A and B are shown apart, each in its own frame.
Chain A
Amino acid sequence: MKILEVKNLNIEINGNRILEDLNFDVNKSEVLAIIGPNGAGKTVLLKTLIGLVPYKGTISWQRGIKTGYVPQRMDIETDVPLTVKEFFHLRGISATDKKIAEVLEFVQLEPKILKKGFGEISIGQRQRVLVAWAVLSTPDVLLFDEPTADIDIAGQESIYKMLYHLQKNLGLTIILVSHDLNVVYRHAATVLCINRKNLCFGSPKDVLSTEQLMALYGGEKAFFQHNHKT
């Protein structure tokens, strides 16, 4: 069953073409991984899907679908006067103590983290807190923007384990941005490769050929050149 259908999606920001003619769809309870080089428009795509960015084309979610969103990075001072518990309570009345304890268990965090400051926990912990926050109101779809620069490999690995654990147990549909091709091969039902344009879409085994990856990341050059386009 299709939960999301995207047709002829075009995004322009300040006159710059960010994404051109994207077409893809997502089925219920599946994992879609979005891959592409830096500046390919992955984060913009996620933000567009939840209505944060104006676009041309069609984005149609199945009726009554609730989404949860985990942003890539946050600009938070380490001494921000806000505890993790208070951060959960910002969600409103759905954040009961029982419910908070439940979602903390989902993301495998100890209850004692609630007393810590939101700015003083590690980035990996904050990612988990944000995922827990997003699933607090039992969404159908979780959109997860991977923090690549700020988290070590082991930390990323354990966040993915947790995500798939969530997908299995809650039947969540997950749309995630990922840099890790291993993760994509192992866990994603479908993969969408973009570099402004739609370069491939399908199951990882079918579409991720060596030539495709060369085209996406610019072949061996990718190891030397790191294009930071906006």
Chain B
Amino acid sequence: MQDIILPLIVAAFVAASASLLGSFAILKRMALVGDALSHVALPGMALAILFKFDPFIGAISFLVFTVCGIWIIEYRSSLSLETIVGVFFTASLAIGALIMPEHDLIEALFGNITDLTIQESLASILLSAILIAAILSIYKKLTLNMVSQEIAQSIGINNKRLEFIFLLSFALAVALGIRFVGALLMGSLVIIPAASAKNIARSLTAFMAGSVFFGVIAAVFGIYFSHTYSLSPGPVFILISSLIFLSTLIMRQFRKL
């Protein structure tokens, strides 16, 4: 039991930050950006493994580079973001899958948080806490930006800068979460808890709190069950999240009646 306490705490923190971020990704209808970003992280991790440096560094540098690209495309060019995402990001997943040593590939695709060293675990907890604090400090501006960019700008909010900060936070959340659930399931870590909370929340506070709560619950039970039954934690987490989503969906239907 003792050997899963640290992974439990790490998973709870990582899930809390990812699902808090996810609540804004849902509000901004950017649900698929998480998927796209996690694909980009893969070649970064592969290079890190090949050249023997920390995969987190590889992932985050590729992510930050991509986020700058997304931001520039959105503001400077007339190309459709979805096309770019659809083509280049899956291509980078393919490249990552080709250059990744085969025995590391499964872990990179599906994650394994129990493999983290103590230093890596502490760094993950610290970075997640920073991410949560950062989002909480700008959540009002983010919400206003989502409700109406024009109103936001009319009271002096710099929408472009705000969106850039949001994308950077997104990159950090993906880099943190990818060790837990892997590149294929990362998008779900961000989206499912928030989507579940949106089913039942009417206020912003309930939505944010609900999203974090569902994320943490799924993470804790995910680690616990995967440890008990020797399963991979990432997929177990996603399955529990999906069950939570289903139950909130049923609750929503009942409330409508």
A interface with B by C-beta (< 8 Å): 47, 50-52, 67-69, 71, 74, 76, 79-83, 86-87, 89-92, 117-118, 130, 133, 137
Asked if A81 meets B206 with Cβ closer than 8 Å, knowing A76-B147, A118-B147, the reply is yes
Measured CB to CB, the closest approach of chain A to B140, in angstroms, equals 5
Q: Is the CB of B202 within 8 A of A83?
A: yes
- Find chain A residues with CB under 8 A from B203 CB: 81-83, 86
Measured CB to CB, the closest approach of chain B to A194, in angstroms, equals 20
Q: Is the CB of B140 within 8 A of A92?
A: yes
Q: Is the CB of B150 within 8 A of A81?
A: no
CA distance A89 to B141 in the complex (A): 11
- Find chain B residues with CB under 8 A from A67 CB: 154
Q: Is the CB of A90 within 8 A of B148?
A: no
Chain B, interface size: which category? 20 to 34
CA distance A50 to B155 in the complex (A): 10
- Find chain B residues with CB under 8 A from A91 CB: 155
- Find chain B residues with CB under 8 A from A71 CB: 148, 150-151
Q: Is the CB of A79 within 8 A of B150?
A: no
CA distance A68 to B153 in the complex (A): 11
Binary A-proximity of B6-40 (CB < 8 A = 1, otherwise 0): 00000000000000000000010000000000000
- Find chain A residues with CB under 8 A from B147 CB: 74, 76, 80, 82, 87, 90, 118
CA distance A90 to B147 in the complex (A): 10
- Find chain A residues with CB under 8 A from B95 CB: none
Find residues 37-93 in chain B having any chain A CB closer than 8 Å to their own CB: none
Q: Is the CB of A69 within 8 A of B202?
A: no
B198 an interface residue at 8 Å Cβ cutoff?
yes
CA distance A89 to B201 in the complex (A): 18
- Closest-by-CB residue of B relative to A70 is B151
Q: Is the CB of B154 within 8 A of A90?
A: no
B interface with A by C-beta (< 8 Å): 27, 140, 143-144, 147-148, 150-151, 153-155, 197-198, 201-207
Q: Is the CB of A81 within 8 A of B154?
A: no
CA distance A126 to B203 in the complex (A): 17
Q: Is the CB of A81 within 8 A of B204?
A: yes
A80, A89, A130, most chain B CB atoms within 10 A: A80
- Find chain A residues with CB under 8 A from B150 CB: 47, 52, 69, 71
CA distance A51 to B203 in the complex (A): 31
- Find chain A residues with CB under 8 A from B204 CB: 81-83, 86
- Find chain A residues with CB under 8 A from B202 CB: 81, 83, 117
- Find chain A residues with CB under 8 A from B206 CB: 81
Measured CB to CB, the closest approach of chain B to A61, in angstroms, equals 13
- Find chain B residues with CB under 8 A from A81 CB: 27, 197-198, 201-204, 206-207
A69-B154, A81-B201 known; 8 other A-B pairs, CB under 8 Å?
A52-B150, A68-B154, A79-B198, A81-B203, A81-B206, A81-B207, A86-B143, A90-B143
- Find chain A residues with CB under 8 A from B201 CB: 81
- Closest-by-CB residue of B relative to A92 is B140
Q: Is the CB of A69 within 8 A of B151?
A: yes
- Find chain B residues with CB under 8 A from A86 CB: 143, 203-205
Measured CB to CB, the closest approach of chain B to A51, in angstroms, equals 7
- Closest-by-CB residue of B relative to A43 is B150
Measured CB to CB, the closest approach of chain A to B124, in angstroms, equals 29
- Closest-by-CB residue of A relative to B208 is A81
- Find chain A residues with CB under 8 A from B154 CB: 50, 52, 67-69
CA distance A81 to B201 in the complex (A): 6
